[in-house]
Amino acid sequence: MTFFISFSKKLFTTNLNDYQTIGSINAPNDTLYRTIFKPLQITCLLRRINLIDSNLDLLENENDIDKMIEHPNIIEMFVSFIQNDMLYTIFPYSEYSSVDILCKPFGLEEKVILFILQDILKAVDYLHRNNIVHRAIKGSHVLIFGHWKTSIKFVLSGLKYSCHVDTVDELKLFKYPKNASSLLTSLAPEVLEQNILGYTFKSDIYSLGILCCELANGVVPFDNMSSDELLFYKIIGDIPKPLDSSCEEMNIFNELMDRLELTLKRRYQVYRQRTFSSIFHDFTQKCLHLEPVRRPTAMNLLEHPFISRNKEQDNNLIQKRDEILKEFFSSKF
């Protein structure tokens, strides 16, 4: 079990012999190991990177950003050190992995999506107030910490893609995130265009909207498209949405149902049997507006009815967060 995300970094050593590897973790871009830190007998995550073959700018950026921030919903490095051209970094270990796995195959119920977004939005608002654009908000970068018997929280990772700027006034970024091939589905149209207009903090808000759809549908919008197709559909304003019985798309799938393969047929049967709230749909669509200037800020979104839950009935929902998540996770694990 992992309860130590707030442990002091000073407790962790730079002696590789203090870390006992107990298993590897499948990760597309990194070599990760579940590891025991022997002096404290706690589980942590060890990332090993060959410095000769790696993008040093990304790693330096991740280290710089980590030194700037401290927030309960943002991942932190415990320690990093170099040995024989290998960079070893120790992170908290997430027992339940990330929400991209959690939401498969057909998406999550709205209450669970709410709790995830509340935590991640606090993290995004904190980053933006500290002049940091995340640029990589997606399901695989939202980690799950705690244990269902006690409490659960959701934590934002992927900081190596972040960008710190000196001022928020008239902010325009033009740099494209390095090694961004795995981020294309989540990036805002204005980031992908790479034109003279640049992009702002609002690009993260678009990525939040994509995350909403991923959590709701169990699949990432624009997945399995070529980069050219993806760019085309994003630029023309093809806006994805959480799929449910209220969506016009369901009528099309009703007509095609007999021709769909079994997995797709099951997927759309699930979609058309559920209905998300109008405030969740509104939250998602506001995030995904094609024009960045018309997207809310992270601070605005914290006040959106879907997140703030002002009514008495909704306040009861927030108060029952641990109970709801306990019931959900106990059925999953």
Q: Looking at residues 249-264, what average pLDDT do you find?
A: 74
Q: What is the DSSP letter of 150?
A: T
Q: What is the pLDDT of residue 166?
A: 76
259-309: per-residue pLDDT in tens? Answer: 777 888 888 889 989 999 999 999 999 999 999 999 999 999 999 999 998
For residue 299, give the nearest of 168, 140, 165 by alpha carbon.
168
Give how many domains the chain has, as a whole number.
2
Q: Is residue 176 part of a domain?
A: yes
Question: Counting every residue, how long is the chain?
Answer: 333
Reply yes or no on whether the pLDDT at 13 is more than 70: yes
Higher pLDDT, 174 or 144: 144
Reply yes or no on whether the pLDDT at 170 is more than 60: no
CATH number of the domain to which 163 belongs? 1.10.510.10
Task: Give the gyration radius of the chain's Cα atoms.
Answer: 20
**Ranges 163-172, 184-193, 264-273, 307-316, most confident:** 184-193
Q: Give yes or no: residues 106 and 50 share one domain.
A: no
Q: Give yes or no: residues 88 and 103 share one domain.
A: no
Could you give the percent of the chain with pLDDT greater than 90?
Answer: 66
Reply yes or no on whether the pLDDT at 210 is more than 80: yes
Distance CA 130, CA 122 (A): 12
Q: Is residue 139 part of a domain?
A: yes
Q: What is the DSSP letter of 162?
A: -
- Tell which of 92, 118, 149 closes a domain: 92
Q: Give yes or no: residues 60 and 152 share one domain.
A: no
Q: Give yes or no: residues 119 and 147 share one domain.
A: yes
Q: Give yes or no: residues 68 and 174 share one domain.
A: no
Q: Give yes or no: residues 166 and 63 share one domain.
A: no
The pTM of this model reads 0.92
Q: Looking at residues 158-173, what average pLDDT do you find?
A: 77
Q: Give the burial class of 222: count Cβ atoms within 10 A of its Cβ; 0-12 exposed, 13-18 middle, 19 or more buried.
A: buried
pLDDT mean across residues, the chain: 89
Q: What is the pLDDT of residue 288?
A: 98
Q: Mark residue 237 as left, alpha or beta (left: phi above 0; alpha: psi -120 to 50; beta: remaining).
A: left
- Token reading at 45: 């995550």
- Token reading at 242: 């959480």
Q: Is residue 243 part of a domain?
A: yes
- Tell which of 92, 117, 132 closes a domain: 92
Could you give the percent of the chain with pLDDT greater than 70?
Answer: 91
Q: What is the pLDDT of residue 2?
A: 43
Q: Give yes or no: residues 66 and 119 share one domain.
A: no
Q: Give yes or no: residues 40 and 188 share one domain.
A: no
Reply yes or no on whether the pLDDT at 99 is more than 90: yes
Reply yes or no on whether the pLDDT at 244 is more than 90: yes
Q: Looking at residues 44-73, what average pLDDT do you find?
A: 91
Higher pLDDT, 9 or 236: 236
The mean-pLDDT minimum among 29-43, 208-222, 240-254 falls in: 240-254
Q: What is the pLDDT of residue 4?
A: 42
Q: What is the pLDDT of residue 3?
A: 43
Name the pLDDT band for 141 (thresholds 50, 70, 90): very high
Contact 309, 144 (CB under 8 A): no
Q: Give yes or no: residues 50 and 107 share one domain.
A: no
Reply yes or no on whether the pLDDT at 161 is more than 50: yes
Q: Give yes or no: residues 113 and 226 share one domain.
A: yes
Q: What is the pLDDT of residue 1?
A: 39
Q: Give yes or no: residues 303 and 172 share one domain.
A: yes
Name the pLDDT band for 319 (thresholds 50, 70, 90): confident
Q: Give the burial class of 147: count Cβ atoms within 10 A of its Cβ; 0-12 exposed, 13-18 middle, 19 or more buried.
A: middle
Q: Which long-range contacts (CB under 8 A, 24 or more apart) does 193-201 make?
A: 193/231, 193/235, 197/172, 198/172, 198/173, 198/174, 199/172, 199/173, 199/174, 199/292, 200/133, 200/171, 200/172, 200/173, 200/292, 201/128, 201/133, 201/168, 201/171, 201/297, 201/298
Q: Looking at residues 51-75, what average pLDDT do you find?
A: 91
- Tell which of 38, 73, 92 closes a domain: 92
Q: Is residue 258 part of a domain?
A: yes
Reply yes or no on whether the pLDDT at 152 is more than 50: yes
Q: Is residue 324 part of a domain?
A: yes
Q: Is residue 242 part of a domain?
A: yes
Distance CA 239, CA 221 (A): 9
Q: Looking at residues 159-188, what average pLDDT do you find?
A: 81
Reply yes or no on whether the pLDDT at 30 is more than 90: no
Q: Is residue 1 part of a domain?
A: no
For residue 93, give the nearest of 134, 146, 49 by alpha carbon.
146
CATH number of the domain to which 72 belongs? 3.30.200.20
Q: Give yes or no: residues 237 and 285 share one domain.
A: yes
The answer for residues whose C-beta is within 8 angstroms of residue 298's C-beta and 6 or more apart is: 121, 124, 125, 128, 201, 204, 205
Q: Looking at residues 218-234, what average pLDDT do you find?
A: 93
Question: Which one-letter amino acid corresponds to residue 114?
Answer: L
Locate tokens 């943002």: which residue? 74
Contact 58, 179 (CB under 8 A): yes
The answer for residues whose C-beta is within 8 angstroms of residue 24's C-beta and 6 or more apart is: 31, 32, 33, 34
Domain of 311 in residue numbering reads as 99-332
Q: Is residue 31 part of a domain?
A: yes
